[in-house]
Structure formats: C-alpha cells, structure tokens
Chain A
C-alpha cells in the first residue's frame, strides 16, 4: 500500500508507473485498493475526482482522452465511484453507458470456423469490436455491485460468459474452439469470469473451471494471473490456504520483472485480501451461494 500511496499524483489519481501521468485504469484499481485498505483514506476523494474529470459526456471513461474508443476502463470506474455520494452522478452515467453499449454481435454463419455464439451481447475492450471475456466479466461485476444484477444485460452477459466457457474448463480471452480445436484456458480470464458468475449460476456449471483454476494457482508467479485467480477462487469460497505465500512470492518477483504497474499491483493486493470476509463485503465479491440464478445449471 505504501508503494501505491507513493505513486499518488498531486492532482489526484494514479499513473501506470511512477513518473508517468494520470491513467484511468490505474486510478480505478488504486481506488478499489484504497477502499479495502481504509475506506476513509485521504487519497480516495481526490482520486475519485480526478477519475470523474476523465469521464466523457456519454458516461464512458477511456484509457486516454485521445483514444475515446478504448472505453474499457468505464466498468472499473463505476466500481471506483460506487458508494461515494459525491460521485453518484458519475456512477450513474457510467452505468447508463454500460447498459447502452455492447460489443459487435452477429449471427454465426453455418461454415464459421469458431464455435461460440457471436450473437449474445456482452462488452468489448474497444468500441466497434466483438465482446470478450474480461470486459464482459468486469461490466457484470460493476452492474451487480451497483444494483443492476437482474438487468437483462447482465442476464445476457452471463449467458455469453457461459457460452465462452471452454469444454474442459476455464476461459481464455473469449474463443472456445477454432477449426475444431479447443483452445487453451488462461488463469486471468478464468478468474474474472468466475467473479462475474459467482452467485448467479450453480457451482456445477463452473465446476471444471474451478478445478482448472485450483490446479493452476500454485504455479502462478505474476500479478495479473494470480490476482484474478485469487479473486475468482475467493468468490467461490475457495481462496487457497497458501494464498499469502503465493502473493509474497509474486511480490518478490519484482526483482526479476521490475516494479509492477499500478493496476497489476492493486489487482494482486485485492487478490491477497480476497479471502477475508470484510474484503468480500467491501468489494465486488458476491457469495457463490445462489441468490437469484440467472441461468440454470447445464
């Protein structure tokens, strides 16, 4: 947390790396980390304000003002403003943007080399492109956290994520089979999807994915994979008993890789604390206990 605090910008918010200018994704992840560490942290207000300045009139928050198509930080920003009465209007506009935006969708042609159903709406990283696993998962997390868990868009997105689940378990960026070959799962995509689906589908529906992630987590050494994996397992009450040791090893690897960027560092921090009930309540980790199943077990 000291490292994050040291990176705080004078005008509020956080850069991707020390010495760099404001970045929306880094700031949103920084706010989520501050919230878990201390919900009254002095940096929270200015960081949220700075993020609000990055919001466009349509409610979106892009990675940079000159790259408005790259609107994927919007869902993260909604999470970052959530719970702050001073930023209610920003949160609301962000939610509206998410509800009105989809990735490109189309009817699958009979001879398509891909297996997934491209007609199910989700969210894309960038405007005008297809829906993919992680932006859809994060949008679902944001909409559920802000009370829109029963919205049709969330129900559709859950169906989309289940459609993209690999037959042998896990998710990757969002393709399943191409030319008849099942592609490889990836821990970071799997973790994000499992957070989005927790409490919305029966455990049996994602059992293979949970098995995959539990089998992978011990070997993970890098912050994005480990952070999302710990969050995904925590959402299903499966945070590993050696989780703290895995996080310590990952932090020590900065000697090898250089200092982690702010988003990766915060993701790891949240994953490290995700096993604690208080963190779950503060964050977006809904219980895996079914509240209102959107999609029945398959």
Chain B
C-alpha cells in the first residue's frame, strides 16, 4: 500500500479545494451580508385604509369610523377602553397650520373612538421644539376644539416617566422612558401628519412617536434621540411602545422642506390602520415616495410590519386614485433618490 494516496483519486478533498471552498464560502457569506435583513424575515401581512376627505369641514368622524370598521375594529374590542391620541404638534407659525395635525382630525378621531365604545379618549403630546407645550396646543387651534369637546389634554414633556427595556435594540439606548400616563391607557394611537422631512425623507405615524418621549429626560429638541440615531430611535420607540393604531392627516400635508418649513400640499385623504409601518408605506406611495428608500421603513419591513405593496391589503381608495407626488428637494440628502417610479 502506498504511503501517499492522491486524495482526488481517493475521492477526498485537496488543499486547493479547501482554499477554493473557503474563498467561495467567504464570498457567499459576504454576499449574504449585503442582502438586506428583510429578505430573511418571515413575510407579514397588514391592512391599511385610505379614504378621501376633501377638506376639514367634512364629516371626519364618519370617515374614521368607516375606516375602523373596514379594518375590523369591532365595538367589543374597544368597549370600556381608554384611548390616548398622540397628534403631531411641533411648533406654530403664522400662516402654516399644515405643520401640525389639524384639530378637526383630532375631533373626528375622538368621536369615532367614542362611537365605537371607548370609555374615554385623551389627547397628549410633548413637542420637541417648543418647551411651552401649552402654547402649541393653544396656537394650533387644538385647545379651542378640546375645550369645547371637554377632552383632557396632557403635556407629555413634563410627566414623570417609567423605563422599559429597549425592545428594538437598534440604538445604544438600553432603556426608553415613557410617560407614566401610558400605564393608564389601553390603546395608543398615532394621529400623525403627512409630511416630508429633511432628515428622514418623510414623517408619518412612526416618526410622530418621538413626541411621546418626555422632554425632561430627552431635552428640547429631543437630542438624545438624535445622538442615538433618528432612524434607530424611531424603530426602538415603535418596537418598545407597540402602538395600536394610526391615523394620518393627509387632507393637507406638507411637501418640500418639512417638517416645519415646507409648503402645504393638498391630498384630500386620511390613511389609517393597525400596523404603523404598513400605514406609513401606504402614505409614502400616495406621496410618490418609495418606502423602501426610507431607511427606517426598510428596516422595519417584516419586523415591525410589512411595507411591500403586495403585503398590504389596501382597503378604501386605491393608491393610484389618490397619489399626488410631494415636492422633494434635491439638495436635501434624505430626499434624494426616494421618488417612487
């Protein structure tokens, strides 16, 4: 018997084969690393509802009630529940009501939840720019509406908080501090505004939740979240808080240099759903933005919810019938190359 046997003849593996296999494996592995994580996730399904509402004087409560019924929100589910509505109140400027969620969308949302059996609805916000939350509440016109409707408003910026472990783990924040008020409610609803954004491309129901983080712990602006990464923080907040529903005010949105300095954009829609990434992806398509081009949505896909068109059951109006491209500014990096083709 020979002392040395050619491994190839023996059906074995040569050193060259091993090296080639190793290199191939490395190539394969590195190639896999380049594939977005979403391709390895189990596909998810969600629904979103789009309804036309041409202007704020129409019956918004009816539109939202219809939408919630279409989405399977049954009275038994809401009976006796306490609902917290979180609008998008940022700051106010003369002639720029499109910065904030319109007060009549809040009124319609409140009425819809009460009609469907909620025992109480409250409205709460902690603006990121203004230290004086009540000033934004007053100047946005929301104070008039809620005072008339006898609905309580809560300033989230000064409320003592409670910590939860960061379930998203996208940023280095180990815990997130939410307002203690949240322990007293059953549903958290993001009542957002349809706007472009100069740091994230668009701000919709997920980004709106920055406003739940109390300023006393996160500052003005909520700079802790900026340092942790805006996209990371959006994902962490949503993953940890697990909001229950979203309603986006797209009756008049904001295009261009949002979220503050942009121009009004009439779209004439409300968009809603139980799953926030799906709602935001639908909003993006209405705005003519590719949701896969927004980092936080792409990362949320099939984790916090689906953003693929085929994974979202579209109820109400078809997107194509209401799509109207929002102006994007090509000198703003977050808005470059995000147009939906």
Residues of chain A at the chain B interface (Cβ within 8 Å): 16, 20-21, 23, 25, 63-64, 66-67, 69-70, 72, 104, 113, 124-126, 128-130, 132, 134, 172-173, 175, 178-181, 183-184, 186-189, 220-225, 256-258, 261, 263-264
Contacts and interface: CB of A to CB of B under 8 A. Distances in A.
B128 to A, nearest CB: 8
Contacts of B303: none
Contacts of B93: 184
B173 to A, nearest CB: 11
Contacts of B329: 179
Interface in B117-152: 129-132, 134-135, 137-138, 143, 147, 152
B134 A223 contact: yes
26 contacts: A20-B160, A67-B177, A69-B224, A104-B227, A125-B220, A126-B217, A128-B227, A129-B219, A132-B219, A132-B221, A172-B129, A173-B130, A179-B257, A179-B329, A179-B332, A184-B91, A184-B93, A186-B129, A186-B130, A186-B131, A187-B132, A188-B132, A224-B131, A257-B134, A258-B153, A263-B158
Nearest to A180: B331
The 9 A-B residue pairs whose C-beta atoms are closest, nearest first, are A125-B219, A224-B132, A129-B223, A222-B134, A181-B261, A222-B135, A225-B132, A126-B219, A63-B216
Contacts of B135: 187-188, 220-222, 224-225
B317 interface: no
The interface size bin for chain B is 35 or more
Contacts of A186: 91, 129-132
Name the residue in A72, A221, A222 with the highest tally of chain B Cβ atoms < 10 Å from its Cβ.
A222
Given A20-B160, A172-B129, A179 B331 contact: yes
A257 B138 CA distance: 9
Nearest to A255: B147
Interface in B140-172: 143, 147, 152-153, 155, 158, 160-161, 163
Contact of B261 (A104, A183, A221, A263): A183
Contact of A257 (B143, B160, B163): B143
A180 B30 CA distance: 41
B260 interface: yes
B110 to A, nearest CB: 17
Contacts of A129: 219, 223-224, 226-227
Contacts of A175: 221
Given A188-B131, A224-B132, A225-B132, A67 B217 contact: yes
Given A187-B132, A189-B131, 18 more contacts: A16-B158, A16-B160, A25-B216, A63-B216, A113-B198, A126-B223, A128-B224, A129-B223, A129-B227, A173-B130, A179-B331, A181-B261, A183-B260, A186-B91, A188-B131, A220-B135, A222-B135, A256-B147
Nearest to B225: A129
A224 B127 CA distance: 14
Given A178-B198, A179-B332, A181-B257, A130 B131 contact: no
Nearest to A66: B163
A173 B129 contact: yes
B12 to A, nearest CB: 57
B130 A188 contact: yes
A113 B329 CA distance: 13
B218 interface: yes
Nearest to A263: B158
A126 B224 contact: yes
Nearest to B329: A179
Contacts of B131: 134, 173, 186, 188-189, 224
B102 to A, nearest CB: 19
